[in-house]
Amino acid sequence: MSGCVHSEKDGRIGWILFDHPERRNAMSPNMWGEMAEAVRRFDGDDDVRVVVMRGAGETSFVSGADISQFAKETGDKTKANLTRTGGDGFESLHALEKPSIAMIHGHCIGGGVLLALAADIRYASADASFSIPAARLGIGYESFGVEALANVVGFPQAVEILFSARRFASDEALRIGLVNRVLPAEDLEAGVRKLAGQIAENAPLTVRSIKRSAAELRKEPGRREMESVHRAVRACFESEDFAEGVKAFMEKRTPDFSGR
């Protein structure tokens, strides 16, 4: 069985569920494609303002790529297939203009860590555990993965995690900045829903401009496209939502933002 990715809307929240429990939600080739389709569909849906990713079952978020799919391959063929199957999924997340949250419980391994890093915000349960075991599998680890981890936890922490391939708990993940918050397992979903709801109530154009700014500022100065940030900020001041926000403030009421 190769697993699947489910997606559904719940109000203004788009949920993406990785469902491959017999492999601890390891990502099979078809799952990467299904995830990319779901992300792009939510990105184009004006009703969706936040995207949340989670794993099915009680034991795992995502435990990486399904290595069993490539057990009979070697060398360049394995690399090509891993790059092809995962590349489209990661590209869709990096292109997503709406906020994304990784809701992490249980095992978050290998490519699961990279999926979590591709989200804007990461909430984890107290029972979550993390590792990137490439060095125990003999897998060549591409520089984009090293960079993604180092951008969040710093290079000294990143190389130690990668060199050792060790597993570490959610309290350490919080300490080094890999996750934003750790909650008891029974409170994780409620905590994520509360956060997603708070984001969804805010002005979509403002949130989008902040995400655009953060994406550009992560780049080296010479590669930044700051004009796109300036355009996004100008769009906020020219929007109906800006007028609604000011009016609601003066009237001492909650604003009702339309995203226009």
For the stretch 25-73, pLDDT in tens is 999 889 999 999 999 999 999 999 999 999 999 899 999 887 666 655 5
CB atoms within 10 A of CB 12: 18
DSSP 8-state class, residue 107: E
Look at the domain 4-199 and name its fold: 2-enoyl-CoA Hydratase; Chain A, domain 1 (3.90.226)
Q: What pLDDT band is residue 1 in, cutting at 50, 70 and 90?
A: low
Query: pTM of this prediction?
Result: 0.91
d(C-alpha 62, C-alpha 19), whole Å: 9
Q: In this predicted structure, what is the pLDDT of residue 111? A: 92
Contacts of 173 by beta carbon, 8 Å cutoff, 6+ apart: 124, 128, 130, 179, 182
Q: 244: which 2 tokens?
A: 């609604």
Distances in Å between the Cα of 116 and the Cα atoms of 19, 39, 182, 222 are 16, 14, 14, 27
d(C-alpha 8, C-alpha 51), whole Å: 10
d(C-alpha 120, C-alpha 98), whole Å: 9
Q: How far is CA 51 from the centre of its chain?
A: 9
Average pLDDT of the chain is 91
Q: In this predicted structure, what is the pLDDT of residue 83? A: 55
Domain ranges across the chain: 4-199, 203-250
Distances in Å between the Cα of 243 and the Cα atoms of 94, 255, 259 are 30, 10, 12
Give Rg (Cα) of the chain. 19
Q: Is 80 exceeded by the pLDDT of residue 76?
A: no
Q: Is 80 exceeded by the pLDDT of residue 9?
A: yes
Average pLDDT over residues 4-18: 97
Average pLDDT over residues 126-153: 93
Nearest-5° Cα angle at 21, 140 to 39: 70
Q: What pLDDT band is residue 87 in, cutting at 50, 70 and 90?
A: confident
d(C-alpha 243, C-alpha 112), whole Å: 41
Q: At what angle do helices 75-95 and 111-118 cross, to 10 degrees?
A: 20
- In this structure, are residues 125 and 185 in contact, taking their beta carbons and an 8 Å threshold? yes
Q: In this predicted structure, what is the pLDDT of residue 69? A: 63
Q: In this predicted structure, what is the pLDDT of residue 71? A: 59
Q: Is 60 exceeded by the pLDDT of residue 143?
A: yes
Q: What pLDDT band is residue 74 in, cutting at 50, 70 and 90?
A: low
- Give the N- to C-terminal CA distance of the chain in Å, as an integer: 44
